[in-house]
Structure 1
Amino acid sequence: MLADLETLEAGTTLRAPICIIGAGAAGITMALELARAGVEAILLEGGGLEFSDMSQAIYEGQVTGEGHTDIAFSRLRQFGGTTGHWTGLCAPLAPIDFEKREGVPHSGWPITRAALDPFYERAQSYLQLGPFAYRPADWDELLSGTAWPLDNSMVEPAVYQSSPPTRFAETYLQAITDAPSISCLYHANLKNLELGDGGAVTRAEVASYSGKTIFIEAERYVLACGGIENARLLLNFDSQRTDGIGNENDLVGRYFMDHMNCTLSELAPADPQGNIDYYLPHETDTVPVHIGLKLTEDLMRREGLLDNTVFLDPVWESESHNDDFRDHAWLAFSAMARAFSRGHVPDQFWARTCTIADAPGAVFTGVYRNIRRRFEPPGTVTTIRFRQDAEQAPNPDSRVTLNGELDQFGMRRATLDWQLREEDLISLRRTHELIGQAVGAAGIGRVRLGLDIPPAFDAIYTGYHHIGTTRMHDDPRQGVVDADCRVHSVENLYMAGSSVFTTSGTANPTLTIVALAIRLADHLAGEGKGRV
């Protein structure tokens, strides 16, 4: 069933074994997995089936930390969530990302990569990817070019796959609508979670934009609203627990992480005519594949380094083939152009228009170069830039808090204080230095480091990956949820999405979000067998 909350009678109480709040990648995946297991679920979405300024305004807030980030434009508050504008790059987190690592404070998940592998495999199809194959050897016969002869005790290839990208609203709306065990309500905004005398959630209060209120009674509740919103909701629910639900140890909202999106350091090739096809995007018969460079896990452990994948961006002799104009204005323009080409009005139309107006030069440059490159050859490679979404270490001072401004439902808005440390950038610099040593020893060329000591933060941008605000840890003094994603202090409340990540790794988070959602759905379905 799919319905607008406005069509229900005020004061209605709906009941189901499980209530999922948030219909993005995590929430939709969970609902579909529970349906396959024969478990009834109510799925709530605060936005509508399409973008609206009214819903999106709930995400407005303040940014007080690193300025190269955003709290509203980076998220979509509608059915399908932020999959409405993600780019599709996918890889699982590496085994080392789950370990407690020397040199990486607050690291160490309570689960291993091996434990998550079966769920990664199932997640592939949700994102319309190829096989669960992320070893270079799995793709060698399908890739053009040849890998550089680098010391494999230092540097190795890293495989990423590209989703189309999957838009969950377009791909799964019909499946949600048709599933008899799923009751999906949109324009359904969570206002409160009420706790009983035993500390469990007894019901959820949900409101429409017109002020109509209904209630949901379930055995278990899941918040799947994203890394910022999960924390904002828990902190707002302070009528029964002064500091908010799950916040007994002042951890909700802390350890906010994002990937350090930057293009820093560059390789001057020894042979400008050298073939770099292996490190450029590949169109295979199943899925597009991208190959990057990574330090080996043994070397990362010895050096105490954060994780990072370097993608190689060649700078061609012909300027028209270079993509250095691709900033946020260009990405906004590209998204709008794609929507118009499909006959749709772009979501976030005015926000994107303002982004373009702030820096129109990139758009003019991009359009001009894209026209020229159709008839102008690229020429030789003059240099190769290192592009990455680098890992930052978990930092308790990097956090989401509440401010005094209220949204339409009387809930306090979020303030994002994204904090990076010099050590994060020094680790990235050392990673580039070690890759440079391997490249130099192989006679490929020389690396010019793009980070000084002390490092400057002005070239570090957000990856729009909101991670870690309700982190997973066995110890309630170090994490908000346990290994099953259950809030430590509430027996029937769970968190889904990247807010539970203990560390961020370097891989884009969507594949892991979906894998963890499948894992949590299995857990809840197992607990609920025989109840429906």
Structure 2
Amino acid sequence: MIVDLREYESEEPVSGAVCVVGTGPAGITLALELARQGVDVVLMESGGRTYEAETQALYDGEVVGDPNTDVSSSRLRQFGGTSGHWTGLCAPLDPIDFEKRPGVPDSGWPITRADLDPYYARAQPYLQLGPFDYDFTAWQAKLDRAPLPLDPAMVRDAVYQQSPPTRFEETYWETIEATDRIACFLHANLVDIELADDAVAHFEFSTLDGRRIRVSATHYVLACGGIENARILLNCNRQRVAGIGNEHDLVGRYYMDHLNCETSTILFAEDDIDLGLYDQVIETGVASLSVGLKLPAEVMREEGLLNNTAFLVPEYDDATFNDDFRDRGWVSFSTMVKSFSRGRVPDRFAENYCNAVEDIDVIGVGVYRHVMRHFVPAGRTVAARLRQDAEPSPRADSRVYLTDDTDPLGWRRIALDWQIAPSDLDSLRRTHEHIGAAVGAAGLGRLKLGIPDPPDLDVVFTGYHHIGTTRMHDSPRSGVVDANCKVHSVKNLYMAGSSVFTTAGTANPTLTIVALAARLADHLGSSGASQTKS
């Protein structure tokens, strides 16, 4: 059942066994998994079915740290959440990502990769992926392209799977609507959390025009994203002055985003290098794959390096086939074309239109090159740039905090202080040196480093991955939630999504978000949530 709160006539409180706030990949997965276990779920969404500027504006805030990011356009406040502009690249976190690493302060999850493996397998279908298998050797027989002849003790091939990408609104709207055990309310903004005896007594919701509703449940879950989860806890300070779960000043801290950059270049010795395995999505019949290069875990442990997968972006002697035109304007233009081709008005149409107009010359180059690629051969591959979403280190001073500015509901807005440690780029430079050494040892060419010493932080841009603001840790002095994603100081309040990540790894977070949601559903189902709240 899906109901618009603006049109809901009853004044009576709504109840269920579990109340989930947010309908992105975490919230929808959690609700569907719980419903399959016979659990009644109240699923609350701030926005409507599609983009609405007035609701989206509730995300507005300030950027006060590294400027190469944003706090609003990188998220979507609507049914399906930010899956509405997700690109679909998927991989699980590596086993090393869960370890306490001497070279990475504040690392170490309270769970292991093995704990998540069964849930990764359950997450794959939600994202319309193939089997849960990310071992390159297992896929190699299905590939008609050869890998570069690199020493696997120095560099290995890393497999990612490509989701269509799954748009959770398009894929799961009808399922949610038809599921009797899920009552989903749209235009329902969380405005208060009432506590009693160290537990949540109820949640209060309101439409933008003031229509309110109370929800009571046995368990409560915030699944609103890496920034908004922290903002909610900090704003709910009526009963706890520092905010809920913030007894040790940890809510909003350890904010992480992947270091999105395209830097360092492999210069090939020969002009017949075949990069077919690396420069495109490969269809195998059971999954769509992308392949990059990464260091073995043993090398990362030995040198205390952060994790990274480098994807190869070919450079051709014919500029027609080079993609150096792909800047902000091209991305906006491409977004609009894809939306119109599906018969839909693009999200943030005015913003995307302005971006495209500002870069109209670049878009002209891009369109020309795309057309010409159908008529001329690509020519020689002369080089390949390394593109990555590299792992950042967790830092307490990288954070989300409240400002004095308020939104129309009276909640304080946020400031994002994204801090990038220069040592993170030192680690990435060393990773590139290892890749260059492997390329040289194989006689393929050499690598031109693109990261200076000392590093230039301006080469880093946002990966649009908001991670770590309610981090997971066994100790309440080091994390906001425990190994089961429960807020340490509240008996029945849980966090879902990438805000619970202790470290970020290098894999795009969506697959892990969905796996953790399935795991949380099992925990809640075994904790008495299977009984409907009366």
Normalised by the shorter chain, which TM-score bucket?
Answer: over 0.9
2:144 and 2:387 map into 1 onto residues whose CA distance is 21
2:163 match: 163
Kindly indicate whether the alpha-carbon contact (under 8 Å) linking 2:17 and 2:529 is maintained by their aligned counterparts in 1.
no
1:47 and 1:106 map into 2 onto residues whose CA distance is 36
Deviations 1:246-285, CA, capped at 9 Å, x for gaps? 0000000000000000001000011121212222321211
Instruction: Provide the secondary structure at the position in 2 that maps to 1:194.
Output: strand
Alignment of 1:65-144 (within 5 A): 65-144=65-144
- RMSD (Å), alpha carbons: 1.0
2:250 match: 251
Deviations 1:421-473, CA, capped at 9 Å, x for gaps? 11000000000001111110111110010011100011110000000000000
Alignment of 1:285-296 (within 5 A): 285-296=285-296
Kindly indicate whether the alpha-carbon contact (under 8 Å) linking 2:227 and 2:252 is maintained by their aligned counterparts in 1.
yes
2:46 match: 46
1:369 match: 369
Kindly indicate whether the alpha-carbon contact (under 8 Å) linking 1:311 and 1:386 is maintained by their aligned counterparts in 2.
yes
Instruction: State the shift of 1:9 in Å.
Output: 3.4
Structure 2 CA distance for partners of 1:529 and 1:494, relative to 1, 3 Å: closer
Alignment of 1:6-21 (within 5 A): 6-9=6-9, 11-21=11-21
Instruction: Indicate the larger mover: 37-46 or 5-14.
Output: 5-14
2:36 match: 36
1:203 and 1:139 map into 2 onto residues whose CA distance is 49
Deviations 1:309-359, CA, capped at 9 Å, x for gaps? 000111011111111111222111111101111111111111222332443
Alignment of 1:375-394 (within 5 A): 375-394=375-394
2:102 and 2:330 map into 1 onto residues whose CA distance is 39
Instruction: State the shift of 1:369 in Å.
Output: 1.2
> Which amino acid is the alignment partner of residue 507 of structure 1?
A
1:189 and 1:358 map into 2 onto residues whose CA distance is 35
Instruction: Provide the secondary structure at the position in 1 that maps to 2:133.
Output: coil
Instruction: Provide the secondary structure at the position in 1 that maps to 2:210.
Output: coil
> Which amino acid is the alignment partner of residue 245 of structure 1?
I
2:214 and 2:362 map into 1 onto residues whose CA distance is 48
1:28 and 1:177 map into 2 onto residues whose CA distance is 12
1:187 match: 187
Instruction: Provide the secondary structure at the position in 1 that maps to 2:458.
Output: coil
Instruction: Provide the secondary structure at the position in 1 that maps to 2:19.
Output: strand
> Which amino acid is the alignment partner of residue 439 of structure 1?
V
1:329 match: 329
Instruction: Indicate the larger mover: 313-322 or 143-152.
Output: 143-152
> Which amino acid is the alignment partner of residue 228 of structure 2?
E
TM-score normalised per structure 2: 0.98
1:357 and 1:503 map into 2 onto residues whose CA distance is 39
Instruction: State the shift of 1:148 in Å.
Output: 1.9
Instruction: Provide the secondary structure at the position in 2 that maps to 1:299.
Output: helix
Instruction: Provide the secondary structure at the position in 2 that maps to 1:525.
Output: helix
> Which amino acid is the alignment partner of residue 187 of structure 2?
H
Give yes or no for the alignment of 1:56 onto 2:56: yes
Kindly indicate whether the alpha-carbon contact (under 8 Å) linking 1:73 and 1:351 is maintained by their aligned counterparts in 2.
no
Instruction: Provide the secondary structure at the position in 2 that maps to 1:482.
Output: coil
Kindly indicate whether the alpha-carbon contact (under 8 Å) linking 1:10 and 1:212 is maintained by their aligned counterparts in 2.
no
| Identical-pair percentage | 56
Instruction: Provide the secondary structure at the position in 1 that maps to 2:51.
Output: coil
Instruction: State the shift of 1:12 in Å.
Output: 2.8
Kindly indicate whether the alpha-carbon contact (under 8 Å) linking 2:219 and 2:529 is maintained by their aligned counterparts in 1.
no
Structure 2 CA distance for partners of 1:383 and 1:403, relative to 1, 3 Å: same
> Which amino acid is the alignment partner of residue 235 of structure 1?
L
Give yes or no for the alignment of 1:217 onto 2:216: yes
1:26 match: 26
2:362 and 2:48 map into 1 onto residues whose CA distance is 32
Q: Which segments of 5 or more consecutive residues in structure 1 lack a partner in the other structure? A: none
Deviations 1:219-241, CA, capped at 9 Å, x for gaps? 11000000000011110001000
- The aligned length equals 531
2:54 and 2:529 map into 1 onto residues whose CA distance is 39
Instruction: Provide the secondary structure at the position in 2 that maps to 1:339.
Output: helix
> Which amino acid is the alignment partner of residue 216 of structure 1?
V
Instruction: State the shift of 1:376 in Å.
Output: 1.7
1:501 match: 501
Instruction: Indicate the larger mover: 341-350 or 503-512.
Output: 341-350
Instruction: State the shift of 1:529 in Å.
Output: 5.6
1:227 match: 226
The 4+ residue runs of structure 1 with deviation greater than 6 A are none
1:264 and 1:81 map into 2 onto residues whose CA distance is 31
Alignment of 1:299-310 (within 5 A): 299-310=299-310
2:338 and 2:220 map into 1 onto residues whose CA distance is 37
Kindly indicate whether the alpha-carbon contact (under 8 Å) linking 1:10 and 1:213 is maintained by their aligned counterparts in 2.
no
Instruction: Provide the secondary structure at the position in 2 that maps to 1:279.
Output: coil
2:473 match: 473
Give yes or no for the alignment of 1:522 onto 2:522: yes
Instruction: Provide the secondary structure at the position in 2 that maps to 1:352.
Output: helix
2:44 and 2:25 map into 1 onto residues whose CA distance is 13
Instruction: Provide the secondary structure at the position in 1 that maps to 2:116.
Output: helix
